[in-house]
Amino acid sequence: MILTKTLLPLFFIFILFTGCSKNDDEYNKPAMYWYSKIIENVSNGNLEKADSYYSSLQGEHIGSPLLREATFLLAVAHMNSEEYLLSEHFLDEYISRYANVNEKEYSEFLKIKVKYMSLPNPRRDQAFIDEAIEGAKSFESKYPNSEYYPVIDTMLTRLYLARAALNETIALLYDRIDKPKSAKYYREILPQPWIKWDEVDRANTPWYREWFEGDGTASWYGAIIPHTRSVVSRNSVQSDDNMTSDGEENDAIK
């Protein structure tokens, strides 16, 4: 009786640790095992675990044809879950290592779509807009007869509008702090004359963002911004009043 009471807790501890070791120490498995685990976790929405099984598949079976399928599967899964950076990573991997000539067109289309979808608020990332525009232009140049051309062209038009809206927002900021030359500079950046700007409606800013960011034309904290160079970009255009006769900036404002 005493022996049973002593061994029973030890038995449960043994079962606990052996059970855990089966889950945590998975290695040296067939490629199909890892691939099935990836599919299982993608189906369950556990993409983090699916990525870890992908690493195991890649590490143990670098030459497996299943790796090609798993790479594209995870690219699409991350895109559908709005994890765009990870989706772009898997698409880059697929394009560089697995895609044939016919598949590259669709894969590169998806990559541009991922960049486009990752810009819900273009006012926050000017460089990313430029990168997406260059990618779309490159696709149109590379695949002028692509069936995806109209979709890419629509994305490109909206990206041009987003960049123009961002430049106008920056120009309005310079207007508010009395920097007319800087405002003019931003309004003249690639104005896209084929767009009828008087027919373009500014996108509405959600109320929960407008409280903190304004609507793009003004903000509630605008009245408290000091009229000093500390809030002006170092790339802003210098006004004539701040320049000496030989073109050098006055020491008083340095």
Which CATH number do you get for residue 92?
Answer: 1.25.40
Task: State whether 145 and 208 are in the same domain.
Answer: yes
Q: Average of pLDDT values for 219-234? A: 52
- Residue pLDDT, tens place only, 153-171: 999 988 888 888 888 778 8
- Is 132 a domain residue? yes
pLDDT of residue 174: 86
Q: Tell me if residue 243 falls in helix, strand or coil.
A: strand
Question: What is the overall mean pLDDT for the chain?
Answer: 76
- Is 166 a domain residue? yes
Nearest alpha-carbon partner for 174 in 111, 229, 95, 106: 229
9-18, 31-40, 120-129, 148-157: which range is least confident on average? 9-18
Q: Tell me if residue 172 falls in helix, strand or coil.
A: helix
Q: Is 184 left (phi over 0), alpha (psi -120 to 50) or beta?
A: alpha
pLDDT of residue 179: 87
CA atoms within 13 A on the CB side of 116: 22
pLDDT of residue 164: 82
User: Please, which pLDDT band fits residue 212 given cuts at 50, 70 and 90?
Assistant: low
Structural domain count of the chain: 2
User: Does the pLDDT value for residue 65 go beyond 70?
Assistant: yes
User: Does the pLDDT value for residue 220 go beyond 90?
Assistant: no
User: Does the pLDDT value for residue 42 go beyond 50?
Assistant: yes
Task: State whether 136 and 225 are in the same domain.
Answer: yes
User: Does the pLDDT value for residue 76 go beyond 50?
Assistant: yes
Instruction: Provide the residue range defining the domain that includes 42.
Output: 29-114
CA atoms within 13 A on the CB side of 67: 16
Q: Tell me if residue 54 falls in helix, strand or coil.
A: helix
Choose one of 114, 142, 169: the last residue of a domain.
114
